[in-house]
Amino acid sequence: MTGTGGGQGGGDLLAEARGWLAQDPDPDTRAELSELIDRGDLAALEDRFRTKLEFGTAGLRGELGAGPNRMNRVTVMRAAAGLAAVLGPGRHVVIGYDARYKSDVFARDTAAVLTGAGLHASLLPHPLPTPVLAFAVRHLGADAGVTVTASHNPPRDNGYKVYWGDGSQIVPPVDAEISAAIDAVGPVDRLPLHAPGTLTELGEEVVAAYLAAVTSLPLGEARDLRVAYTPLHGVGAATLDAAFRAAGFEPPVAVVEQRDPDPRFPTVSFPNPEEPGAMDLAVALAAKLRADLVLANDPDADRCAVGVPLPDGTCRMLTGDEVGGLLAEHVITHTTGDRMVATTIVSSTLLGKIAQAHGVRYGETLTGFKWIIRAGPGLVFGYEEAIGYSIGADAGAGADARLPVRDKDGIGAALTVAAIAATAKRTGRTLLDLLDDQARRYGLHATSQLSFRVADLSLITAAMSRLRATPPTTLGGRAVTRADDLARGDGGLPTTDGLRYHLAGDARVVIRPSGTEPKLKCYLEVVIPAPDDVPTARTNATATLDTLKTDLTTLLAL
């Protein structure tokens, strides 16, 4: 997350840059910064030093490079020192990392700072999916966890995410405490590093424990399924392959060009399965294989995309809400006892209806898995529309025992979706048939998104201000029946920067800035009650969503 700050005079700016250079242990960023100083490139220095990456509930995320407004070894060591100060000596932190540029270096820097401060650090053995780290925190009884990843951000980005001892992402006030401790850190070249005997280099046993946990999810008995898969140059392939084998499935056939980790992400514009074109190679592979299912993970494998190949060689990609509905009903029907399912304010309203029909509790939270996972006791399934899911099972006493991973888990989700698809295949059906069944039972809940990526974050601020000053009275030809300003706490949730419009005819629009990318995001939903003719209902719903998108594009002027 990037903060704001005022400009500086050239002399002050050069002095700050030289001070940063003096403590920087990385030859790459030292060379970059030295060149900028030698050239007197004040514009480039201003961009790197006029503000800083702010530590928040999403941790740190930003472009690699020199200076406080970039991800680099100094930034990471300061973050580790701040975390160490909040935790205190003697505490245990597990560290994981993905395969992006510098991720392994940042992970070892974190270990060096933590152990130097008197903490015990355990380092995962190689680049692994984020859910393995989240699992390992509780499995090893650690006090916190750190993973170095920028998830699905562009190649030049990296990030730093912190988990607490319950295995979930940090929330306030812990984030503010760590941020304040980071601000108090002096030059990193003065930090004590590498206390002997306080670093554990973990082996494959922690991965084996994770695999045992996810293969204990409710997977049924059907295993006949052919899957085309892509990890999008990320770290998911080996773990997913091992999970499928351990569960008795034929391993997915991976897209060769995207199978191995590659921080360049050479075949995609953005390494995000939701972005246009990202799934093209997987869809082509599915057609070649005559596959039953298409699966994808994002680069750190905490999210899962799902598609159903069609006879004409194309593929129907499911929305996160559609997958969430299928997974929810599967988990509910394969678990017992007092249970809760939860999702966010921007996800479909379908989950609430499924929960009501099955007599389980339902929770609605702010966006982000850090909130979903805290929805309430007995949580057995949580999801967000951005293709993130946490799958639970019956696992003895205690609510925590239900969820092996208290965060998004793209491996566990892929495995469970495969189980649902294999069961459907036994009777000649697909996931699309199951979606039609749900539409008849609960009503067709059609959702879509509209995102605006900007170069200047002030454009998003201005757009939100315009909407608050002059709220729309109609959208997509439907009257706005109620407007909620989530920044005021409308709707009974903690405040967040967002607007929610309820429309006549059971439709809804939520508008909010992204928490991790320079985007303004719009979430659209249209509900058609229990249609007999589901295909026609889908066509009509899609037309309504398209009209809403056209109106929003004009309204937001981005």
Q: How does strand 379-384 pair with strand 157-164?
A: unpaired
Q: What is the dihedral of CA 438, 306, 520, 68, to 10 degrees?
A: 140
Structure tokens, 365: 């939270």
Alpha helices in 24-128 (DSSP H): 27-39, 42-49, 73-87, 103-116
CB 83 within 8 A of CB 162: yes
Burial degree of 66 (CB within 10 A; 0-12, 13-18, 19+): buried
Q: Which of 151, 168, 347, 448 is the catalytic position?
A: 151
The DSSP 8-state label assigned to residue 399 in this structure reads G
- Non-local (6+) Cβ contacts of 550 within 8 A are 476
Instruction: For the chain, report the end-to-end CA distance as a whole number of angstroms.
Output: 21
Angstrom distance (rounded) from CA 202 to CA 322: 37
What pairing do the DSSP bridges indicate for beta strands 92-97 and 199-201? Answer: unpaired
| 122 part of the active site | no
AA identity, residue 497: D
Asked if residue 530 lies in contact with residue 440, where contact means CB atoms within 8 angstroms, the answer is yes
525: which strand partners? 447, 508
Q: What is the DSSP string of 359-396?
A: T-EEEEE-SSHHHHTTS-TTEEEEEETTTEEEE----S
Sign of CA dihedral 185, 188, 190, 192: positive
Tell me the C-alpha to C-alpha distance, in Å, between residue 201 and each of 120, 130, 135, 212.
11, 17, 17, 21
Torsion angle in degrees (nearest 10) through CA of 40, 43, 44, 45: 70
| Burial class for 459, CB neighbours closer than 10 Å (0-12, 13-18, 19+) | middle
Q: Are 449 and 524 in contact (CB under 8 A)?
A: yes
Region for residue 403 given its phi and psi (left: phi exceeds 0; alpha: psi -120 to 50; beta: otherwise): beta
DSSP state of 2: B
Q: What is the DSSP letter of 331?
A: H
Contact 448, 386 (CB under 8 A): no
Using left for φ > 0, alpha for ψ between -120 and 50, and beta otherwise, residue 256 falls in alpha
Give the residue numbers marked as catalytic. 151
